[in-house]
Amino acid sequence: MTPIAAAQAARIAWAAGVVFHAGDHPLPEGGFWAQWDPRLDAALVLLAAGAVYSLGWWRLRRAGHGGLATGWRLAAYGSGLAVAAFSLMGPVDVLQELLFAIHMVQHLLLMLVAAPLLVLAAPFPMSLWGLPAGARRTVGRWMAPATRTRRILDRATGPWLVLTVHLATIWLWHTPAGYNGALRHPWVHDVQHITFFGTALAFWWCTAAAEPTLQPRLGYGLRLALVLMALFQTQILSIIIAMADRPLYGFYTTVPRLWGLSVMDDQRWSGVIMWVPGGLWYVMTAVLLLERMMSRQERTVRRLAARRAPAPALLGDPPAA
């Protein structure tokens, strides 16, 4: 047995060790919320990101940019980091190796909750101001419009390319080979989470038109189309998972069962979780974008109508002959 395989086996044994049997229904010892697996690497990355952002937020506030460095953005960033920490080190991370449904919740938290919260917090300008002055100037030079780095970023962040890469990442990792490989090899699992989270950040960056806008600012119609395409593709995948008549991922047939859920019931619940709560998140985003688009169109119509309205007659003007 290789060291990686031995480490994975030990991790599964530890996760299974938190289980005791109450009749026919295994339950986590100490309850669901008692299961935590602190990871030094994840904790350090999240703490560093929070520290740099907070310092940049404070510096921007002191420099008089309170319109950008608002309290709600700081709260959104902290909430996004908290959700990411819960996903990577909390009960869902401990028990995802025993239940596919919990694993699905973990991925949705990373892609549909943590990622958009961080994007809404305008992380680039805040984090840039959190860097030392020399590093900040260096990044500024890299991001200048005529630089090679900026040209590469412009090409890599096209909305349709971002959408395609994000959806391809979701589909490929949900193939039996991809999903089983991630569950059996910790480093592959880390790559899975990084690609899920990274492509989700790029997708929500385009959808929210967050700063910096490397592309021309996307209209509400295009952003709505991106969300609806993501909704359509993930709904197809969730239906395939929920309606499958056999286990799709052999890994879950080899681990202890929790809460009396069979392998097939667990798989159906996973599909339903992606189908309903996951789909609802995209639907709410689409409704918000549609409302914003209609409001903008209404304001435009009102401005045009005001310009075309005849000027009122001045007091004292003689009546027309």
pLDDT band per the 50, 70, 90 thresholds, residue 104 = very high
pLDDT in tens, 2-28: 444 444 444 444 444 444 443 344 555
Sign, CA torsion 246/247/249/254: negative
pLDDT band per the 50, 70, 90 thresholds, residue 258 = confident
Q: How large a percentage of the chain has pLDDT more than 90?
A: 62
- The 3 state secondary structure assigned to 166-177 is HHHHHHHHCCHH
Contact indicator for 81, 50 with CB cutoff of 8 Å: yes
The residue-averaged pLDDT of 85-105 equals 94
β-pair partners for 21: 26
Other residues' Cβ atoms within 10 Å of the Cβ of residue 25: 11
The residue-averaged pLDDT of 254-282 equals 93
The residue-averaged pLDDT of 124-136 equals 92
The residue-averaged pLDDT of 233-249 equals 96
pLDDT band per the 50, 70, 90 thresholds, residue 168 = very high
β-pair partners for 27: 20
- The 3 state secondary structure assigned to 217-254 is CCCHHHHHHHHHHHHHHHHHHHHHHHHCCCCCCHHHHC
pLDDT of residue 312: 56
Task: Tell me the average pLDDT of the chain.
Answer: 86
**Packing angle of the helix pair 100-108, 263-273 (nearest 10 deg):** 20
The residue-averaged pLDDT of 209-221 equals 76
